[in-house]
Amino acid sequence: MISSTKDQQPVMTKISKTILIDGVWEAADSGLAVINSFNNEVLATISCADEKHIKRAISSAKNAFETHRRSLPAHKRADILRKCSDILKERAEEFAMTIALETGKPIIASRKEAIRAANTMQLAAEEATRINGETIAFDSFPGGENRTGYYIHEPLGVILAITPYNDPLNLAAHKVGPALAAGSAVVLKPAQQAPLSALKLVEALIESGLPKGLINVLTGRGRDLGTGMVSHRDVAMVTYTGSEAGGEIISRDAGIKKLCMELGANSPVIVMDDCDLEKTVEACVSGSYWAVGQNCIGVQRIYIQKGIYEKFKTLFAKKTSQLTAGDQTDPDIDIGPMINEKEAMRVEEWVNEAVVANAVVLAGGKREGAVYQATVLENVGADAKLVCQEAFGPVVSLFPFTNYDSVIKLANAPDYSIHAAIFTSNLTTAMKAARDLDVSGVMINDSTDYRLDAMPFGGAKRGSMGREGVKFAIREMVQTKMVCMNLDL
């Protein structure tokens, strides 16, 4: 599979055995290169699964679920997940380097993701022993006086987990961990651009004692595998993080099964004139460019109260221009390459379109290969792609505002959202914003990119398709079974 040298850089073979079926790693006839987008080095050539692999992987998961649903109690599942968490901690630097190489994410951010993934698996271990039911008061309605009963939560069966490239390790952990904690089996389809750290996670689970078949892996192009995976009758649930377009395809193809999807956002930040300006700017710069802006809750639009707009703009642009771009493995680098040059060219095109329509570049705005500099704009039109769509890159737009009601309307304008943020020292304003912002998470005096892995997480409005966050993901991945006893017989 994937081994490592002393400096944690993956050692590659011609076509790696990256398909896992019933506990055996396999290679396919065709492969797909995983590229370090900074220098175009081939990191690995993963196997491209086909229809036969899909059927075998799902069959393996179904058989393993039926075999182990009674024989692998909660405490054993918890032990496996806890051991996996320990492995992630012990090998954090190896995982971090793999993340950095395959995604372009700076090594500092990649190290944080590796530690977060360990925490996610630890949370899954803890929650595995807390999947509790309740008793029902049957005597609350006439005729139920002589009945008693309770409900329990049971696993769904086979969970298909489809993960993206931007947080390839932790987002895989957020799907695999809760599914295994709940007692289900998993078929994992990691991102084709960045599958290597997710494969290492699977290796860690196997090393931790997970019985064969409870996790299977299909690697390759999403467009080749998608319909065959999501439409399979033996898949009980699809959990997906990715684009809105991908979510629509899955919804169309899945048929009658449970879906949990996180489909991106366009995160707004409101800056009131009573905020701590220095700390607010610092938080917004970090929230805008962390992970090269390829972050579904990264800051994209900042609305600044008019009285402090010029001060905020000057300070924000200055701090942004001080960020350094380059090789993501250099610990002194703030901005690494985007996932590939095509994505960097897309962001460049969106910025250029905005500039042609009278937007002003305050910092950045330059591309070299897959590296796009941290960029700030003002005077961006309301109909620009940078405002209306998810930029998913290191670009932020600034807007002045005067009226609270109008800025809430602007913040709420996109029809899909996850987080919004407000910076203020006024408790009343903060609580009003928490009520008025049409999102699933309101960050007060934090940027939109703050996330604790224990908290509920998912989309709002058109993007509302279930919740992640370990405890809440488990709720999505179980079904209730009611037991009722008639005491008269």
* Residues assigned a catalytic role: 262, 296
Would you tell me how many other CB atoms lie within 10 Å of the CB of residue 321?
A: 14
Strands 147-155 and 134-135: antiparallel
Which candidate, 54, 36, 55, 35, places its Cα nearest to that of 45? 35
- Answer for the pair 28, 220: CB distance below 8 angstroms, yes or no: yes
Beta carbons within 8 Å of 204's beta carbon, 6+ residues apart: 84, 87, 88, 91
